[in-house]
Structure 1
């Protein structure tokens, strides 16, 4: 590796914790705050001149300085800081310098981020769409007098199918499963539900199972976390 590549890699690794915050986001706005926090952290190590100018502009601007000071150690602290940074006249030049350095070491920061963003938004869409059904399934489980492990497996299978419906890459796979279980309504797997047909040992269940778990990973989560939320 060249000295420039080593420097860039070290900066990237230092800011992995900021990048990982994408998994906590619940909206596009929150994702963009995390994205810009990651860029700002990278720039602090790779673009010291531009970062210094940005930092100075935020300090001498009374509105930015006051808002940042008032948000220290508060839940919205990161959002306030990024909002102030974006408002600075130095923000665009800092981003340009950072991306120029990244390009110089054959790294596409926008592509890296967009992959995370798409994965998170896709997963959020899936869990939001399947949430009403999950509530019904959990209520049903709680009302079962003698609840068994099989009852929970059945409920989780139905929920996993519901998640798959909102994941574009699983369109054909979820359609194949509907045929196997004789499902009439793709959005209502409980209609004419036949437990005997919902067998997790079936060969066609595995790709749906794995597909949902992979989508969860792309979204910075897991099926278990979604079920237990």
Structure 2
């Protein structure tokens, strides 16, 4: 491994960051897999020219693959179609293996990098999905309240943050601590026996829960506000 090899790999990786960033737009595991493999394709095109060219030629000479890719250009299915065709190529495994070999040479763990992104995204999607029914109730209540105040909105967002935390494994202790603070009997139903006076964001138990949910949102390529507004 030379400094030049490391520098070249880093340059190629940075060129493909935009593809990696697409993980934040994914809603399913299948969509994440497409982004991952598109990233491998982009890396291979500049790091593994022989394997990439062999795969590319196989797509050009395969009428079905070529027609599918050509017809999907400039459509929202373009990336998925290209990746699907590439996976079907007899040279796909060689290409992926070559990319990993180069990354290992320079001490980069591409699978580790991707798994971190995927785990963060799937965890956040799970939290948002689980807390969605409660969010609907909270926002409907706010919309119907003609006399609502800024504090009312803060209160509802706190309940939503708590609901999100229930699906974030690393926040199990923080969510339980907050449940005890607000004297919640059923952790899955924060509105039962809800007492606004107890839900005080100035209490020391709130900050780690609040920050933990915001950090989980960032790991998932999103933000708490985006989830609330959706």
The TM-score range, normalised by the shorter chain, is over 0.9
TM-score, normalised by the number of residues in structure 2? 0.99
* Cα distance in 1, alignment partners of residues 102 and 74 from structure 2: 32
* Runs of 5+ unmatched residues, structure 1: none
For this pair of structures, how many residues does the alignment match?
Answer: 229
Corresponding residue of 2:71: 70
Match of 1:24 in 2: 25
Once the two structures are superposed, the pairs formed by residues 6-25 of structure 1 within 5 Å of their partners are 6-25=7-26
Q: Distance in 2 between matches of 1:201 and 1:85?
A: 54
CA deviations over 1:146-201 (Å, ceiling 9, x no partner): 12100100000000000000000000110000000010111110000000000001
Please report the TM-score for the alignment, with normalisation by the length of structure 1.
Answer: 0.99
Q: Does 2:12 match 1:4?
A: no
Alignment gaps of 5+ in structure 2: none
Name 1:81's counterpart in structure 2: 82
- Alpha-carbon distance in 2 for matches of 1:122, 1:165: 11
Q: Name the counterpart of 1:175.
A: 176
Give the ranges of 4+ consecutive aligned residues of structure 1 lying more than 2 Å apart after TM superposition: none
Q: Distance in 2 between matches of 1:180 and 1:219?
A: 28
Partners of 1:35 and 1:199 in 2: CA distance: 42
* 1:192-203 equivalences in 2 (<5 Å): 192-203=193-204
The equivalent of 1:150 in structure 2 is 151
| In 2, Cα distance between equivalents of 1:37 and 1:149 | 44
- Matching residue of 1:162: 163
1:141 match: 142
Any idea what SS the aligned residue of 1:203 has? coil
